[in-house]
Amino acid sequence: MLTVLYLGIVNWMATVIITESVIFEDLRDMVQRYGKSLEANHPRIGRKVCYFVTCALCMGTWIGFIEAIVFDGPLRFWWLSFIANGLLYKGIGHLFLQLNALAHHMVTRLNAESVTLN
C-alpha cells in the first residue's frame, strides 16, 4: 500500500513540474504554439492541445497511466487494470495537489491578516 502512496506523490510532483515549472516552460510554449497553429483548421483540437500541458488534471491522468503501465498496481480489472490503477495514482496525486493549494491559500490569508493587524 505504501507503493500506491509513493506513486501518488510522484504523480503530484511530476504533474506540478510539467504544468508549472520553469524547467518545462519551453516545452509548454512549443506545445501551445503547435496548438495555436492547429486552431485555424481544427479549433477544438487546437484548444485541447494548448490545454494539455497546462491542465493538472489532464497531465496527472496521463502520468498516472504511465505509472500504472510501468509499476502495475493493486487494482485488477483484466486489461483495464492500467486505467484503474492510473486513475488511483492520479487521485492520490490530485489529493496532494489540493492539500498543497489549501495550505498555500491559508498561508496567504494569514499573511494578509497579519499585515492588517500591524
H-state helical runs in the chain = 2-20, 25-39, 43-52, 56-71, 81-117
- What pLDDT is stored for residue 118 in this prediction? 64
- What pLDDT is stored for residue 28 in this prediction? 92
- What pLDDT is stored for residue 104 in this prediction? 92
Enumerate residues 6+ apart whose C-beta is below 8 A from 81: 68, 72, 73, 75
Q: What is the pLDDT along the chain (118 residues), one digit of tens a residue?
A: 899 999 999 999 999 999 999 999 999 999 999 998 988 888 888 888 888 888 999 999 999 999 999 999 998 877 788 899 999 999 999 999 999 999 999 999 988 888 776 6
Taking the C-alpha atoms of residue 38 and residue 42, their distance in angstroms, rounded to an integer, is: 6
Fill in the DSSP letter of residue 79.
Answer: B
What domain count does the chain have?
1
- What pLDDT is stored for residue 39 in this prediction? 87
Integer CA distances (angstroms), 37 to 22, 24, 25, 40, in order: 23, 20, 18, 6
Q: Which amino acid is at 5?
A: L
- What pLDDT is stored for residue 77 in this prediction? 76
Taking the C-alpha atoms of residue 75 and residue 62, their distance in angstroms, rounded to an integer, is: 17
Q: Residue 113: which domain range?
A: 2-117
